[in-house]
Every structure is written in structure tokens, then in C-alpha cells.
A and B are shown apart, each in its own frame.
Chain A
Amino acid sequence: GDSVTQTEGLVTVTEGLPVKLNCTYQTTYLTIAFFWYVQYLNEAPQVLLKSSTDNKRTEHQGFHATLHKSSSSFHLQKSSAQLSDSALYYCALSDLTGGNNKLTFGQGTVLSVIP
């Protein structure tokens, strides 16, 4: 099986400062992809970033993440947090072995950006 760990339940950051949300994983699967999903209040989770390539930086909407298989991590970062970034963020691992396509989610991290 596999698991995803997000160590922080809540991250609070001041607007304009950098932010980092941690994500580590354990898996025995060989064919995998990683995602960050964002869920705004009373809305559906939506994909923010995805990656399956080791050591390649992926960027979207000012956020970036790099998959590091050597450390089993896929941390999410942004250089300057905005008030509108306040939301619930999930890291997720997708097992693609044998044509499968199912996501395993972490516990989620609430990002609160304050003025």
C-alpha cells in the first residue's frame, strides 16, 4: 500500500511572505504521479499541480513543487503568499500501476494568509 503525510494541520503566514507546505510519502508502487489539490470553502477539490518526473520543478498559479524520489517528498511552495491563497491543500499520490488510477490523499493542510 501507500501513504501520504502532511505534517502541518495549519500553516499561518503573513501576506507577501513565502510559504511552504510539506508532503512526504511512502509507496511500493513503481508507476506513480503526485498532485496538489486545493479546496476552497464549500467548493470541490481542484487540481493545482501534478508531476511524475523526478527532480523536475512544476509551476502553476505562482505555486511550485518538485518531486524528489530520493527523499520521498513533494513539498508545495510559493514565494509570496496572497490572501486569496487561504484554503485547504491536499497532497495526493496516484498509483498508475497496471492501468490503475486512484488517488491516496494526505490529511490536508489549512493555509491561512493574514494581512
Chain B
Amino acid sequence: EAGVTQSPRYAVLQEGQAVSFWCDPISGHDTLYWYQQPRDQGPQLLVYFRDEAVIDNSQLPSDRFSAVRPKGTNSTLKIQSAKQGDTATYLCASSLNSGNTLYFGEGSRLIVV
């Protein structure tokens, strides 16, 4: 069974540029999560979906970050006007709502200079 797939694996931006990260969850998993993992810190939840609906986006910086999951499968996280403080690894995870184990992708590492 294929795991969670993320792309791109790496991105280097100048401040002010935009980037989109893509995530393909494990087939059949209804819940999808985006976490931000700054260097030397634990992952911090940004947003999560059940099917196509946003369940919690309270930690998503809404002025520059957006996330969608239009068909309840793949998801895109977009950062507009990136700042140096956005430098982190962005992890996507999926789970079956009935179970509570999250399965993570390898992450997309963003460096903003």
C-alpha cells in the first residue's frame, strides 16, 4: 500500500514569493492534516480536513496561508508572500477517522531567504 506522498521535497524562496505544496494521502483515508515543523521543534498543526471539509484551521495564518482539499482526496497548501519565519518542514498526514493513528509523508522542506 502506498504511503502519504508529498511534493516538492524541497523549495528555496526569496521573501515575498509564493509556493504550493501538494499531498496525496493513503487511499481511503478520510482525514488529512497539514503540520508545520520548524527546525528543532515538534510538529504543529496548521489545518485538518475530514473529506473536503475543514475541521480545524485555527492555527493557519489566514492572511498568507491557505489549504484546500476539493474532492476529499489530494490537498494543496499554499503560502503567499513567504517570510523567513516560514522556514520549516511541512508535513502532511492522513488517518482513518475511526482509527487514530496518523501516517505521515516525508515532508516538504521550505527555506525562505
Contacts and interface: CB of A to CB of B under 8 A. Distances in A.
Contacts of B102: 47, 103
B42 A108 contact: yes
A42 B109 CA distance: 10
Nearest to A105: B42
Given A101-B31, A102-B45, A102-B48, A44 B97 contact: no
Given A100-B55, A101-B95, A102-B48, A47 B42 contact: no
Contacts, number: 54
Give chain A's interface residue range (CB within 8 Å of chain B): 20 to 34
A106 B44 CA distance: 9
Contact of B100 (A43, A96, A105, A107): A96
- By secondary structure, the B interface counts as loop
Give chain B's interface residue range (CB within 8 Å of chain A): 20 to 34
B100 A101 contact: yes
Given A43-B106, A44-B105, A102-B56, A33 B100 contact: yes
Interface in A16-52: 33, 35, 37, 42-47, 50
B31 A45 contact: no
B62 interface: no
Nearest to A103: B102
Contacts of B107: 44
B104 interface: yes
Given A50-B101, A102-B48, 9 more contacts: A33-B100, A35-B101, A37-B104, A44-B104, A45-B104, A47-B102, A94-B100, A100-B56, A101-B31
Interface of A: 4, 9, 33, 35, 37, 42-47, 50, 90, 94, 96, 99-108
Q: Give me the 7 closest cross-chain CB pairs, A-B, nearest first.
A: A105-B42, A44-B104, A44-B106, A45-B104, A105-B43, A107-B42, A108-B42
